[in-house]
């Protein structure tokens, strides 16, 4: 379990950085970055290292992760992927410290109190974890800013549309008021003619009916004109 744990701790940060970088993964290597690969690959390396040589297998894995991860992150930086330099720095520092820890464990590099404390406190992954945290925060912050910008654009469009609808409503009401106002002038002339006709046709049912209809029409126009002004 301890041997496999070392391989998981070395492999998972590498896989996370490659996946977050958005670098295209060749078809033959895609299994290594799926959840099945994240579960089984370190387990297989751990079993091989336990049965053969832990140091040799760990060295091979660290070199492979460092080479492919560094290539993928550098390629993402060349494509100007947002946040890729942050991942590259965190990944490079963490993997470099792990390689140095491996060399110290096998007596190839002199140890120091500070590095010994860092190794034994299991803080070698802190740098890549901080880089991942900053990367994710920047990505979510960018999404929030994009959402806020879209909301502002939508609010502006709604405000412009509302103002346009209000302007059209005012134009319509003004046009209706003008129409009702202009109808009163010819109707006044018609009413004068009807009154003159009624004087010469006293007692005529047609004159009374015509006068009643003209009066009704006058009241309707006055009501509509008043309603248009009130609106």
pLDDT tens readout for residues 68-88: 999 999 999 888 888 889 999
Query: Taking the model in full, what pTM does it have?
Result: 0.59
pLDDT greater than 80 at residue 205: no
Burial (CB count <10 Å: 0-12, 13-18, 19+), residue 39: exposed
pLDDT at position 217 is 84
pLDDT greater than 80 at residue 32: yes
pLDDT at position 229 is 77
> Higher model confidence: residue 181 or residue 31?
31
pLDDT greater than 60 at residue 214: yes
For range 4-28, the mean pLDDT? 89
> Higher model confidence: residue 161 or residue 231?
161
pLDDT greater than 70 at residue 203: no
Cα dihedral value 211, 214, 216, 218, nearest 10: -130
Closest to 184 in 3D by CA, of 225, 136, 228: 225
For range 178-207, the mean pLDDT? 73
pLDDT at position 202 is 58
pLDDT at position 132 is 92
pLDDT at position 200 is 63
pLDDT at position 201 is 61
What is the percentage of the chain residues whose pLDDT exceeds 70? 97
Q: Is the CB of residue 22 less than 8 Å from the CB of residue 76?
A: yes
Give kind and range of the element (H or E) at residue 112: none
pLDDT at position 111 is 82
**Measured between alpha carbons, how far is 136 from 132 in angstroms, rounded to an integer?**
6
Residue 203: phi and psi, rounded to 5, are 85, 0
* pLDDT tens digits, one per residue of 126-139: 889 999 999 988 88
Residue 198: band (very low, low, confident or very high) from pLDDT cuts 50, 70, 90: low
> Higher model confidence: residue 226 or residue 76?
76
Residue 118: band (very low, low, confident or very high) from pLDDT cuts 50, 70, 90: confident
pLDDT at position 47 is 92
Return the residue matching tokens 């990944």.
Answer: 91
pLDDT at position 138 is 85
What is the percentage of the chain residues whose pLDDT exceeds 90? 20
Q: Is the CB of residue 185 less than 8 Å from the CB of residue 225?
A: no
């Amino acid at each position: 379990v301890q041997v496999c744990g070392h391989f998981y701790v070395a492999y998972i940060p590498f896989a996370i950085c490659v996946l977050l970088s958005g670098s295209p993964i060749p078809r033959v290597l895609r299994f290594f970055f799926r959840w099945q690969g994240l579960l089984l690959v370190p387990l297989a390396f751990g079993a091989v290292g336990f049965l053969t040589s832990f140091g040799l297998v760990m060295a091979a894995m660290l070199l492979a992760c460092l080479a492919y991860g560094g290539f993928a992150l550098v390629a993402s930086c060349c494509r100007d992927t947002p946040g890729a330099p942050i991942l590259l720095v965190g990944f490079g520092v963490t993997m470099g410290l792990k390689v140095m820890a491996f060399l110290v464990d096998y007596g190839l590099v002199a140890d120091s109190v500070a590095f010994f404390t860092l190794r034994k406190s299991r803080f070698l992954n802190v740098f890549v974890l901080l880089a991942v945290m900053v990367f994710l925060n920047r990505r979510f912050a960018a999404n929030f800013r994009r959402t806020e910008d879209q909301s502002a654009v939508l609010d502006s469009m709604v405000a412009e549309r509302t103002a346009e609808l209000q302007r059209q409503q005012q134009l319509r009401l003004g046009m209706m008021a003008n129409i009702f106002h202009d109808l009163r002038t010819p109707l006044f002339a018609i009413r004068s003619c009807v009154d003159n006709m009624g004087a010469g046709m006293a007692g005529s049912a047609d004159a009374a009916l015509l006068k009643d209809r003209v009066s009704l029409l006058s009241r309707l126009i006055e009501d509509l004109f008043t309603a248009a002004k009130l609106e």
